[in-house]
Amino acid sequence: MNYVKPNALGGGNPPPKGRMELKSIPKRRDNIQMPLILLLPLSLFAGFLEQGPIRGQAFSGLLSTTYALAAIAILFRWVQQDSAASKSKISWMLKITLVILTVFALPYYFVQSRGWFGGAKLLGQAWVIFIAAMLCYRLGCSFA
């Protein structure tokens, strides 16, 4: 049962004596990084397909292109969610650059939205996810 804190006009219902008031849990910006975690199973699946069922076939290039586009789409969606959570706007030029030159635009967005220290911290986290995705890809290749 949620209790509402009384306002200055006396509205709301105070909690009974001896019970703590329940507060809403603030949304953390860290939870916004969840779409990036989708890169891990995507990498595992792409590695399995690349070295397994379609190895050496004409679909190999199509799979690599599809994997790259899916990864860019996941990153683009994450940036949109992150900017909405931080209430910052992304210019149309940055959106285009995120799709075409992700390796340059993503660090720029990190620094622009969080400052130098916060941007460097998030860039480090992004590198960890990137390395984990590459390891998942290699693991998928070994399953094939």
DSSP character at residue 144: -
DSSP labels, 1-59:
---PPP-TTS-S-PPPTT-PPP-PPPPPGGGGGHHHHTHHHHHHHHHHHHHTTTTTSTH
Could you tell me the sign of the dihedral formed by the alpha carbons of 108, 113, 116, 119, in that order?
A: negative
Q: Which residue has the higher pLDDT, 40 or 34?
A: 40
**For residues 14 and 121, what is the distance between their CA atoms, to the nearest angstrom?**
42
State the pLDDT at residue 135: 92
Tokens describing residue 80: 């949109």
Q: Per-residue pLDDT tens for 80-108?
A: 888 888 787 888 898 888 888 888 888 89
DSSP labels, 74-95:
HHHHHHHHHHHHTT----HHHH
**For residues 111 and 102, what is the distance between their CA atoms, to the nearest angstrom?**
14
Closest residue by Cα to residue 103 from 126, 84, 121: 126
Q: Per-residue pLDDT tens for 49-89?
A: 877 766 666 666 777 888 888 888 888 888 888 888 878 78
